[in-house]
Chains A and B, each alone.
Chain A
Amino acid sequence: MRILKCLLALAGSAACAALVAVSQEAQTGGQEGTQEQNYQKMTPAQRAEATRTFLGLGAVPDKAAAARGAPLFASKCADCHGKTARGAIAPSLITSDLVLGDDHGEHLAPFLKKGIPGKGMPAFARMSDRQLTDIAEFLHLQVEDVANRGAYHVLNIVVGDAVRGKKYVDSHCMSCHKPDALLHIASKFRSPEQLQRGWIWPSRDVHLIAEVKTSAGTISGRVIELSDFSVSLVDTAGEAHTIDRNFGAEIQIHDPLAAHQQIVMTLTNEDMHNVTAYLETLK
């Protein structure tokens, strides 16, 4: 029952913000960082900006200029360098020294005017300075799309088989959850990615429950803090207790999400995709 309540609470809030801006900072690895807590509270634009600052990515591309440069690049450059400038018969430009050394066309525009005729790179002598700068900004935006991982977004993650997903749910979930527990679940999340995260790990408003036996008696309640040295909990009357563990307190911890942790540790990708595809139909 408790698990059911938690699942519904989570679905209702749709606030189980996923950390998309992974990185050196994220839960998966990297050199680490201090920002992940903050990332979760940010809008995508804020997250991209914070990551840009954190990584020291340099000048911000001019998006309006880049938009003007896009069709110019498509018609003049993409045949050789690829439509996102990642290389075709001519080299990738997003790792080019010249592009990475430029801020707003101050080096690229004069270069594009002259080209390298001997090496097959034409001169764009007739294009205006503004057009050449716009192309430079388009290139900087292509670099930004790669280098600023805070601006990444997932693709359409609904790739599973809903029929198989329903079978998994019927056989794995309904021994704990009531039949109507999943009604309209998909409409309660902002995105399929959040739905996927939310059904696997419905952690919002779920608390560990501890029962602590000391010489003074037994206290139980939801855990607020837990370390090798103390446990803090709030009992059902709302009273807070902190127990020093150095004096032989016996602690039993009950994890309402134990079954979900089991899922986390054993779920196959196929089952995950299928269940998400099924739940996504429950709008």
Chain B
Amino acid sequence: MKLGFLLAITAAALLSGPLNAPVVSVDPNTIGQAPVTSWPTFNGDYSGERYSTITQITPENVNHLDANWVYRIAEVGAQRGAPVPIIKCTPLLVNGVLYMTIPDHLWALDARTGKELWHYDWVDHGGHLVGQRGVGIWKTTLFFLTPDNWLIALDANTGKELWKKNYADARKQYFSTSAPLIVKSHVIVGVGGDAMDMPGFLDSFDPVTGDLQWTWWSTPRRGDPALKTWPNERASDHGGGMTWMPGTYDPGLNLLYWPTGNTNPVFAGQGRPGANLWTESIVALDADTGKLKWYFQVSPHDTHDFDNTTAPILFDRTVDGKPEKLLAQAARNGFFVTLDRVTGKYVVVKPYVPLDYSSGLSPQGEPIPIPDKDPSVGGSINIVNASNWPAPAYSPKTGFAYVNSVEGKAIYYLTDDSDKPSGYGGTGVGIGRAVRVLQAIDPLTGNAAWKHAYPNLNNAPTTVGPSILTTAGNLLISGDDQKNLIIFSADKGQILWHHELTANESGGIITYLLDGKQYIVFGAGDSLYAWSLRE
């Protein structure tokens, strides 16, 4: 009797899910390893290099790439402010299951077929549906952020909600687009939203209970010496510095490296004289306590929405015969920054697009802005953002950092010239041609080893994408903004292959081995594509 009952339960359990559905589980201690048969975190591993050691697809056989399957989002339709769904996530791949998101929606797909295993649908109450970058996974629990700032824990095998926690108020214009970063037993969650002069922060939650472990604020609180970079405590309390992109992590140093967004008020800086720490910075935080170890401010006193959220990439190199732990960022303010990631001291700070708004570097290596280039009532010409959130990459094989950049200008107007500006307080209007340029930059000099300007009749779009992935097979996978997925040679920048899709590549590109076969998976518009070599 008892045995029969047990068998019945087992059979029911087996039948309740799709047949042969793999069982998903991730040991958090394995997340930092080179991703080969999985892609278990936003950047594949903690380094942000987006480099794969897989060599099955090569420049020689790349012409045999073929679509394995395509999953199109059919049932969502227009969302508030977004007429069609656009996949801006980097999917995760674990035990043969892909996890893909758009705002308010999370899908688990069978990576072998592209068939839906389950779909989680969140009904938001506010927030900005501009994008969703993906999920994090800890053991068998997925973590998903909603536009109205709920951290949702779900069973990775069933999509059932385990618990949820609200960590920011959408009525204050906080909204969330990020992918949580899972480090040991920490679920690290950033936030966006710069319409109402709120302070940015980073929260760490317990993956089992959802209890808050620590909070790091992007601007200093009472008693902190960094308050001297603000005119007063009130300005600091409303100073922005959102944390809306996932950071990177060095397990050896136990340091998180987080990029912080633009200062508030955004374009109107007259009410906040000073450098405005720690907005527009790269900060190194202790992963267990959230305590600040060091910072490097990429755009002191920003007034151009330079929003320093491009990934800080971690890589190791031998410099003058000595092994060095370094960090590089192709910052949105147009400077390429290489730092010693142990100390935060700068190695290289150099423009990678034509710019003339800086008079030089401070002794710490921080670009010094020219006040005349600030937004003004009559208009001020300055560069557009030189990069943005789409992922850059680094190849240890070539030693180059890769970024899709934009060379272009805008006129920035101050629309609020009062002594108490608030919100954006200004606006920017693109002027002239804006050209997208893929660059391979030597992070030890800041010089481009090669550049590829994408020919286009139209100006570069604001997204400054798409994302980049490089492989040990000398591939650099990216695309233009005319719907072409393009594979370049990583060492020379030669076009090896391209394919016209139905939309621009719009999220992160990942690769992995599944059943011994190398896949390239990416979102373009409302569709997720899985490519592999023809048999």
Contact = CB atoms under 8 A, between A and B. Distances in A.
Interface in B49-86: 80-84, 86
Instruction: Please indicate which of the listed interface residues A21, A22, A200 has the most CB atoms of chain B within 10 Å of its own CB.
Output: A22
Nearest to A27: B430
Instruction: Please indicate which of the listed interface residues A33, A101, A200 has the most CB atoms of chain B within 10 Å of its own CB.
Output: A33
A82 interface: yes
Contacts of B373: 269
A46 B170 CA distance: 23
A229 B409 CA distance: 27
A95 B197 CA distance: 7
A160 B377 CA distance: 11
Interface in B252-273: none
A111 interface: no
B329 interface: no
A282 to B, nearest CB: 18
A272 B380 CA distance: 8
B196 A225 contact: no
Nearest to A274: B378
A100 B192 contact: no
Contacts of A226: 455-457
A80 interface: no
B462 A225 contact: no
B431 interface: yes
B305 A27 contact: no
Given A26-B430, A100-B172, A261-B433, A273 B379 contact: yes
Interface string A246-277: 00000000000100110011010100110010
A76 B306 CA distance: 40
A100 B196 CA distance: 10
B408 A34 contact: no
B98 interface: no
A23 interface: yes
A95 B484 contact: no
A177 interface: no
A224 B457 CA distance: 7
Contacts of A208: 457
A200 B429 CA distance: 12
A155 B415 contact: yes
Interface in B366-414: 372-373, 376-381, 384-385, 388-389, 408-414
Interface string A33-53: 111100000000000001001
Contacts of B198: 95
Interface string A99-110: 011000000000
B130 A32 contact: yes
Interface string A60-85: 00000000000000000000001010
Contact of A146 (B196, B378, B434, B498): B196
B202 interface: no
Nearest to A224: B457
Contacts of B372: 269
A193 B413 contact: yes
Contacts of B424: 22-23, 149, 152
B217 to A, nearest CB: 16
B148 to A, nearest CB: 8
Instruction: Please indicate which of the listed interface residues B131, B238, B410, B432 has the most CB atoms of chain A within 10 Å of its own CB.
Output: B432
Contacts, number: 230
B457 A225 contact: yes
A146 B423 contact: yes
Contacts of A100: 169, 171-172, 196
A136 interface: no
Contact of A155 (B305, B417, B486, B498): B417
A257 B432 CA distance: 9
Nearest to B175: A56
A228 B306 CA distance: 29
Given A32-B462, A55-B173, A197 B411 contact: yes
B356 to A, nearest CB: 8
A32 B463 contact: yes
A236 interface: no
A29 B195 CA distance: 14
A35 B81 contact: yes
Given A28-B305, A152-B415, A273-B378, A55 B427 contact: no
B177 interface: yes
B377 A156 contact: yes
A154 interface: yes
Interface in A207-235: 208, 223-229
A58 to B, nearest CB: 6
B131 A31 contact: yes
B433 A227 contact: no
B341 interface: no
Contacts of A57: 173, 195
Contacts of A148: 195
A33 B420 contact: no
Interface string A140-172: 000100111100111111111000000000000
A31 B147 CA distance: 13
A30 interface: yes
B454 interface: yes
B173 to A, nearest CB: 6
Nearest to B432: A264
Given A22-B427, A197-B429, A30 B462 contact: yes
A113 interface: no
Interface string B209-244: 000000000000000000000000010001000001
A147 B192 CA distance: 14
A95 to B, nearest CB: 6
B236 to A, nearest CB: 13
Nearest to A251: B455
B259 to A, nearest CB: 13
Given A32-B388, A95-B197, A100-B171, A228 B378 contact: no
A155 B177 contact: no
A115 interface: no
A-B CB proximity, top 10 nearest: A27-B430, A264-B432, A29-B385, A54-B81, A28-B428, A146-B423, A159-B378, A32-B463, A86-B420, A147-B195
24 contacts: A18-B429, A27-B428, A29-B332, A35-B81, A54-B81, A55-B81, A56-B127, A56-B147, A56-B175, A95-B172, A95-B422, A97-B169, A100-B172, A100-B196, A154-B427, A159-B378, A196-B411, A200-B411, A225-B482, A227-B454, A228-B455, A264-B381, A269-B380, A273-B379
Given A58-B171, A226-B457, 11 more contacts: A28-B305, A29-B388, A53-B80, A160-B378, A197-B431, A227-B484, A228-B480, A264-B381, A265-B409, A269-B378, A269-B379
Interface of A: 18-36, 50, 53-58, 82, 84, 86-87, 92, 94-95, 97, 100-101, 143, 146-149, 152-160, 193, 196-197, 200-201, 208, 223-229, 257, 260-261, 264-265, 267, 269, 272-273, 276
Interface of B: 80-84, 86, 126-131, 147, 169-173, 175, 177, 192, 194-198, 234, 238, 244, 304-307, 332, 354, 372-373, 376-381, 384-385, 388-389, 408-415, 417-418, 420, 422-424, 426-434, 454-457, 459, 461-464, 480, 482, 484, 486, 495, 498
